Amino acid sequence: MKDATLVNHPPQVEVPPDNHPVVAPIHQSVKFEFETVEETLRALRGERSGFFYARSSNPTTRQLELTLAALQGREDCMVCASGVAVVAQTLLSLTKQGEHLLCFVESYGPTRQLIRRVLGKFGVTHTMLSIEDLAGIEAALVARPTRLIIFESPTNPVNKIADIAAITRLARAHGAMTVLDNTFAGVHQHGRYDVDYYLHSLTKYISGHGDVLGGAVIANTALIRALRADFTVFGSMLDPHAAFLIQRGLKSYFLRYRAQSASAQRVAEYLVEQRGVERVRYPGLTSDPQHALARSQMSDFGGIVTFDLSGGAEAGRRFAEALELFAITPSLGSTESLVMPPQLLGSRDLPDELQRQAGIGPGTVRLSIGLEDPDDLLTDIGRALRAAGAG
Ligand SMILES: *Cc1c(COP(=O)(O)O)cnc(C)c1O
C-alpha cells in the first residue's frame, strides 16, 4: 500500500465489545459503511439500525438528540446548526401556501422576520398579537383556520409569561398546532403541557459556555417523523464536534441553570430597592405581575433580569459601559454575565407602538446572569448604577 493510499485507509482501532469508553467518542465521520450493499439497503429502508450519511444522522448528534428528548419529556428530537435554523426549518416544513399562523410581538426578532419575509414570500399569512391577549388569540382562531401558534415563555426581553395551558387548550379546540420556543425556560421545564413541538437554541443554557451554536426541535415520534425528510434536504445538520461540546456542557446544565436562577433572584431583589430603577421584571419576584402564573408553570425562573432606568437610554448606555463583569453583547445563558443596553434592545422591525406592546421602553436594560460570585455581581451593578446617576 503506497502512502497516499494509506492516509486514506488508516488502520482501524477496534474497541473490544466488552470495553467501553466512559465518555462517548466524537464520531467525526460524514460517512458510515456496511460490508455489503444488501445491509446498506436494509439500513436505508429502516429494517436495521446503523448510520449512512451524517446529514441524516450521526452517532454523536444522535446521542445529544436522545438526551434532549428525554429531558423535555418527549420521544424524539432533531438537532440543527443553530437555533434560528431550527425555527426556520420547522416553520417551513409545517406550513404551506395559503395557510395562516399566529405569532407574537414578544418574540425573538429573527423569528418574526422569518415569518414576515420568508413565509410571507411563500404565501403563508400571519396574525401578530401580544402574548397577554388571550381574547385576541381566541378571536383570531375563530376568525380563520390556523395551522399553528408559535410562542415563547418567558419572552424576550422583558420576561412576560405565556399562559401555556390556556394557549394549548385554545389551539387544540381550533385544530391548530403549537410550537413553543422554550429557549428561555430551558429543556427541563414546560414538558408536562400539551405542546406539539418544543424548539431550543442550544447556544444558550443547554451548551452554556458561549462557545458553540446549535438548535433542537423536540416532539413525539410521529411529529418528528413528519419533519425528518424536509430537514435532511434543508441541510443544516449539527456538526458532530459541536454536538460533543453541547453534550459536554449539558452535564452541568442543572447546576448552572439553578445557580444562575438563584443569582438572578438576588440581582432582581437588589434592583427593586434602587433609586432610579423602575419596573424590574423577573418571574421569581413576588412583586412581579405574573409571579403566580410563573410559579404554577416553572420550578426555576432563569437567569434573565430586565428593568428600566428612569434616566432613559443615556442612563442605560452609561450603566452598561460602567459594568466591569458584564459584556455588552447579545445571547444569554452562558457562564459570563452579559448586558444589553436600550440602544441594542429595540428591534428595528418593530414600530414604536409594537415596541411598547412588547414591553421595551427607552430605558430598558436586559441582564443575563452568569456564574460569577453573586456578591461581586451586586457590587458591580451598584457601582454602575451610581455611574449612570441612579442607585
Ligand atoms: C437565541 C435565540 C434563538 C436563536 O438561536 P441561535 O442559536 O442564536 O440561532 C431563538 N429563539 C430564542 C428565544 C433565542 O433566545
| 79 Cβ inside 6 Å of ligand 1 | no
| 154 Cβ inside 6 Å of ligand 1 | no
Domain 253-387 has CATH 1.20.1260.10: no
- From ligand 1's centre to the CA of 62, what distance in Å? 21
Q: Using CA atoms, how far apart are residues 180 and 309, in angstroms rounded to an integer? A: 31
Domain residue ranges of the chain, discontinuous segments joined by +:
57-250, 253-387
Q: What is the pLDDT of residue 347?
A: 74
Q: What is the pLDDT of residue 175?
A: 98
Cβ–Cβ < 8 Å for 331, 211: no
What does residue 220 show for φ and ψ, rounded to 5 degrees?
-75, 165
- From ligand 1's centre to the CA of 84, what distance in Å? 6
Q: Using CA atoms, how far apart are residues 93 and 87, in angstroms rounded to an integer? A: 10
Query: What does pLDDT average to in each consecutive run of 10 residues of the chain (391 residues)?
Result: 91 92 94 97 95 94 97 98 98 98 96 96 97 98 98 96 98 98 98 98 97 98 97 95 97 97 98 96 97 98 97 97 96 96 84 86 96 98 96 85
Beta strand ranges found along the chain (DSSP E): 76-80, 100-104, 125-129, 148-152, 177-181, 197-201, 215-219, 277-281, 304-309, 326-328, 337-340, 364-368
**Count of CB atoms within 10 A of residue 376's CB?**
12
Which three cell numbers, joined as nine digits, stand for 373? 460570585
Read off the DSSP letter of residue 10.
P
Q: What is the pLDDT of residue 345?
A: 87
**Radius of gyration for the chain, computed over Cα atoms and rounded to the nearest angstrom:** 23
Complete DSSP assignment for 237-269: BPPHHHHHHHHHHHTTHHHHHHHHHHHHHHHHH
HSE on the CB side for 189, CA within 13 Å? 26
Q: What is the pLDDT of residue 349?
A: 77
Q: What is the pLDDT of residue 161?
A: 98
Give the three-class secondary structure for 179. Answer: strand
Q: What is the pLDDT of residue 85?
A: 98
> Same fold for the domain at 57-250 and the one at 253-387?
no
- CATH (one of 3.90.1150.10, 3.50.50.60, 3.30.70.20, 3.40.640.10) for 57-250: 3.40.640.10
HSE on the CB side for 59, CA within 13 Å? 12
Q: What is the pLDDT of residue 50?
A: 96
Ligand 1 atom closest to the CA of 213, numbered from 1: 7
**How do residues 202-259 score in pLDDT, each as one tens digit?**
999 999 999 999 999 999 999 999 999 999 999 999 999 999 999 999 999 999 999 9
Q: Which among 104, 204, 212 is the best mutation to test ligand 1's pocket, defined by most ligand atoms within 8 Å of the CB?
A: 204
Ligand 1 atom closest to the CA of 152, numbered from 1: 13
Q: Using CA atoms, how far apart are residues 159 and 307, in angstroms rounded to an integer? A: 10
β-pairing, 148-152 with 125-129?
unpaired
Query: What is the value of pTM for the model shown?
Result: 0.96
| 186 Cβ inside 6 Å of ligand 1 | no
Q: What is the pLDDT of residue 131?
A: 97
Atom 15, ligand 1: which residue's CA is nearest?
A: 183
Q: What is the pLDDT of residue 178?
A: 98
Q: What is the pLDDT of residue 351?
A: 85
